[in-house]
Structure formats: structure tokens, C-alpha cells
Chain A
Amino acid sequence: MLDPDTLPDSFRASTFIGFRTLFYKEVQRFWKVNFQTVAAPVLNALLFLLIFSHVLARRVTVYGDVPYTAFLVPGLIMMSLLQNAFANSSSSLIQSKITGNIIFVLLPPLSCRVFYAAYVLAAVLRGLFVAIGVWLVSAFFIDLPLAKPAWVFAFGILGGALLATFGVIAGIWAEKFDQLAAFQNFLIMPLTMLSGVFYSIHSLPALWQKISHANPFFFMIDGFRYGFFGQSDTSPWLSLAVVGFCFVVLAAVTLMLLSRGYKLRG
């Protein structure tokens, strides 16, 4: 393998161009169809907001003084961010694999790290676009505080990167679209739905509270919400540690799979 310390500057420069190009291509790929990849998920989240706030607004109270509709918005923003980050990297990879054009990124001298970083960052960007979309539109209806923006930002980026990484693994592993759909329907969706997007876990029975603590999505959403209200079900530092740990582990696994060429280089 190449020893980074002995590489000439021209190598570094061209590695950076390689990264920038792949990142830009991945961003273009979703932006060219932004109606489907950004606008549609925003609309989706707003429908959730409309329905749940209408049905539950008077019945659920959270953190004492926070109205339910306001409580709901950060969860929906984060859910949209996570789902779209996952969808972007996984669907881009599986489409490229199925159509065969994945070879255009396998033939050039792109390193695993460049490959990984480009796919993940583009996916995070799509997640952020959708998140900002949901936020902006919901701001017309609901007054949402922003107590600690740094936490919002940290959890948005880290959670997005975690799901984008997960998407890379799923995209590499899956051979058909329905395998990817199974991943989404049986893992991502249940974990998000049961993570406290729609409720505070303090409203749950003790057993369910415990189970929720085994769900990394709970920590992502709880930490993200802390940034808005300055209050959360659990300590934001604990959430940050859990999400950070999950990210590091998954990123390491992904880099290892990529360096072995798992399912990409037969």
C-alpha cells in the first residue's frame, strides 16, 4: 500500500481532485432530481406533522411547558435527515452496481477513504437539505425555539454521517432493490419509529424505556432535540458518545469492506 508520508504533493493534489469530483458528482446526482430527492421528503414530513399534531396536540404534553407540535418538529426533521442520508448513499451505490456504471469509479485510482468520504458527505448534504426544508416550512406554522444550535448541528451532521455510512454498507451488500427495501422497511423504519420521534420516552412504560435505550436512533433524536429545547430525555453528552461510538465503528467496518473490495471487486 501507499505510505502517505512519502507521497509527492502532486499525489495529494490529485487525490483531492478525485475526492472533490466524486463528491460533486454524487451531489449532482440527487440535485438533478431534487423534486424527488428533496421536495418529496419535505412534503412527507409535513404530512406527518399535520396529522400527528392534529390528532395528538391536546392529548400529549412534554417537558411540562413544550407544546406537542413543537416537540414533534425536531423529531421529524431528524427522521427526514436520517432517512434521506441513508437513501442517498444506498440507492446511488445499488443503482451503479445494477446498471454496471460503478466501474467508472472502480477503474480510477480512487482510494477507499476518498470513495467513502465522497459518498457519505454527499448523502449528509442531501439529508441536511431535506432537514432545512422541513424546518423552514414548519416555521410558518409552529414556533420552534433554538436553545443550543451547536448541538443541533453536531447531531445533524453525526447522525447523517452514521446513516449515510449505513447506506454505503447496505448499497455494497444488496444485490437487488428489494434487498435494499427490506433493509429500509425492517431495520431503518422500525428503529426510527420506535425512537421517540413522536413521543417522549418518559411517557412509556419502564420496560419500553429500557428497550428504547438500546436503540441508537433514540440517542440521535434525543440529542438533536436537546439542541432546540435545552431539555431532553437523557444527557446530550451520553447521546453524543453513543452516536459517535456507533459512527466510528460503522465507518471502520465500511472502510475495511471497501479495502477488501467486498462485493465490488469480484
Chain B
Amino acid sequence: MPFSTPAIRIAAVTKRYGNLQALGGVDLEIARGEFFGLLGPNGAGKTTLISALAGLVRADGGTLEVMGHDVVTDFYSARLKLGVVPQELVFDPFFTVREILRFQSGYYGIYGNDDWIDEILSRLDLLSRADTNMRTLSGGMKRRVLVAQALVHRPPVIVLDEPTAGVDVELRQGLWQFVKQLNADGHTVVLTTHYLEEAEALCGRIAMMKAGRIVALDTTANLLSHFSSRSLRVQVERLDVAESLGGEVSGDWVIFGFDPTSGAEMLETLLARLREAGAGVRGVSVGEPDLEQVFMEVMRRA
């Protein structure tokens, strides 16, 4: 049943560098059409896993498949279906942006790709730089050329290893618009980033890695509800009264944590009790759970 083959299947993948276990048995399946986040602190093994998937690194054990093609035994098809934006800002100083993209197309067996190259360049706001030598581009522009290079062959699976590092806010928004569009068009997108708010906003499902293992894997919504709490922050005249009701003082504010699944009546009850106790409520704000909290909590427990 080829239709049910996942975009990416990773089973029991291990990789050692000397004494360091960079990947300690990773299992992961990513379905077609997903927008998937791969998160983890520095050195967790994200790039190593991506490199093994791309055939840049040989796994010591386990298997990796892209669209059902084993990356070692059926590398031709596997590589054709995968586009990778590398984390390192690498470039070839001998050529212009357009030359680079033409070469990259050719390596994938595509000749006469200029229409698509122009489209990518315009979506990445690089059209005016098409004939500029790579050496003279700014860091953020080089990063966008890396994105363009990963897309020349219209791969069904796109892996972006920290694509927004060093890209300014406006262009980052533009880049995400483009990637979201690609995802909407059916491309599977896998993303690593240290900007957790980006991952939260974009990814439907997230895996968190630590020390070469996956320590959390769920939909973004589930992760948010399981690992973090909402909070009610109140500004009161009598800090001591609020504190005696179980709040935690933080500057002028007192913070009450509560179960994220509980509804609005929980808030009402809490406010009523504060009023009755004479705390003198002057301001209220509700803190939504965010992925950063989840991340910290998962890493603490793992």
C-alpha cells in the first residue's frame, strides 16, 4: 500500500562519534503532509539525525526511509524526494546565485529549470540578487539561497535545519509564508529551530530530543495541554492576602497556576475568593501556556 507509506520513517537509528552516543536509538514516523517540528537543546542530535536521513552521515544501526525509499540501498530515489536546508551557512564563492541554482538543478537531473528558479527566487525575495556573486551576499541572503537550493527539484519532503537563524523579522515572516504555502501544496515539512514560538505557531506535531533520544512526541496541542499550566496573574493591594490563598508573588503581581483543561468557572471562583478575602484586585491577566514552558518541563523531566 504505497499510499500509506509515511514521508519519513526512522527506526532504531544509532550513531556514535568516538565515545559520544550522538543518536541512541531513534524511532520516528512522519506522515505525508505534516508540518513537523524537531526540537532540542544544542547537541541533542537533531542535525545528526537529519544528516543520516540525507545520506551525509552513515548511521551505525537502524534504517531510514524517505517516501518509502531506504536512504542507503535506494539512495537515488530517496535523495530525489528530499530537500535539505543545512544548518551551516555554506556557499560556493565562485558563482552567482542563479549559477548555483542551475547547477543544483542539474545535479538532480533537471535541465531548463529557469521558470521554477525564478519563482523560488521571487518567493524568497532574491530576484534582484540573482546575478550577484555568493561571496558578496549578506548572511541572511546566503541562508535564503540555501533554502532555494533545497527546493530546485521540488522535493515532496523538505527538511529545514534552523532556516531562520540570522534572517531578519520581516523576511522570516515571508519565509514562513512560503514554507506554509509549500506545506499546503502537499509538501511534508520538517523543521528544527530554537525559536519555540515559531515551532508552536507552525508545527502540527513536535518531537523533542535530548542527548540523542526522543523524549517527547505528540501534537503541539497535546504537548501544550499536558506539560504546561495556564496561569492567572493578578495585581492586588494586599500581596500577603493573595499569597495566603496559594498565589506566588512575582514583583507587583501574584501568579496562580491552574489546570489548563479547567474552564472559566475556575477563574471566577478564584477571583471571588480574592474579593472575599479583601485582597483588593486592581488588575488581571491570563497567561496562556506556551511551548517554551513545555520545552523546559520536558527537558527537566527527561
Partner-B contacts on A (CB < 8 A): 1-2, 11, 13-15, 17-18, 20-22, 24-25, 28-29, 32-33, 96, 99-101, 103-111, 261, 265-266
Nearest CB of B to A208, in Å: 44
Secondary structure of the A side of the interface?
helix
Q: Which of B100-108, B162-170, B194-202, B253-261 contacts A (4 or more CB under 8 A)?
A: B100-108
Chain A contacts of B103 at CB under 8 A?
21-22, 24-25, 104
Q: Which of B87-95, B119-127, B172-180, B240-248 contacts A (4 or more CB under 8 A)?
A: B87-95
If A32-B94, A101-B91, A101-B92 touch, does A14 touch B58 (CB 8 Å cutoff)? Answer: no
Task: Kindly identify which residue among B56, B58, B86, B94 contacts A28, using a CB–CB cutoff of 8 Å.
Answer: B94
Chain A contacts of B99 at CB under 8 A?
28
Chain A contacts of B102 at CB under 8 A?
21
Cα–Cα, bound, A104→B79 (Å): 12
A105 x B107 contact (CB < 8 A) = yes
Task: Kindly identify which residue among A32, A109, A266 contacts B108, using a CB–CB cutoff of 8 Å.
Answer: A109
B94 x A266 contact (CB < 8 A) = no
Task: Kindly identify which residue among B57, B109, B111 contacts A266, using a CB–CB cutoff of 8 Å.
Answer: B57
Partner-A contacts on B (CB < 8 A): 51, 54-58, 73-77, 79-80, 82, 84, 86, 88, 90-95, 99-100, 102-111, 149, 153
A261 x B73 contact (CB < 8 A) = no
A29 x B94 contact (CB < 8 A) = yes
Nearest CB of B to A62, in Å: 43
Cα–Cα, bound, A22→B55 (Å): 19
B90 x A99 contact (CB < 8 A) = yes
A15 x B109 contact (CB < 8 A) = yes
Chain B contacts of A103 at CB under 8 A?
56, 86, 90
A18 x B90 contact (CB < 8 A) = no
Task: Kindly identify which residue among A18, A33, A100, A265 contacts B107, using a CB–CB cutoff of 8 Å.
Answer: A18
Cα–Cα, bound, A101→B88 (Å): 10
If A32-B94, A103-B90 touch, does A20 touch B58 (CB 8 Å cutoff)? Answer: no
Chain A contacts of B109 at CB under 8 A?
13-15, 17-18, 109
A14 x B56 contact (CB < 8 A) = no
Task: Kindly identify which residue among A18, A99, A100, A101 contacts B106, using a CB–CB cutoff of 8 Å.
Answer: A18
Task: Kindly identify which residue among A1, A106, A110 contacts B56, using a CB–CB cutoff of 8 Å.
Answer: A106
Chain A contacts of B94 at CB under 8 A?
28-29, 32-33
Cα–Cα, bound, A11→B75 (Å): 13
| List of 6 A-B pairs having minimum Cβ-Cβ separation, nearest first | A14-B109, A21-B106, A108-B107, A100-B90, A109-B79, A109-B76
Cα–Cα, bound, A96→B94 (Å): 11
If A1-B73, A107-B56, A109-B80 touch, does A20 touch B106 (CB 8 Å cutoff)? Answer: yes
Chain A contacts of B106 at CB under 8 A?
17-18, 20-22, 24-25
Cα–Cα, bound, A97→B164 (Å): 24
Chain A contacts of B74 at CB under 8 A?
2
Chain A contacts of B153 at CB under 8 A?
108
A14 x B90 contact (CB < 8 A) = no
Cα–Cα, bound, A32→B104 (Å): 19
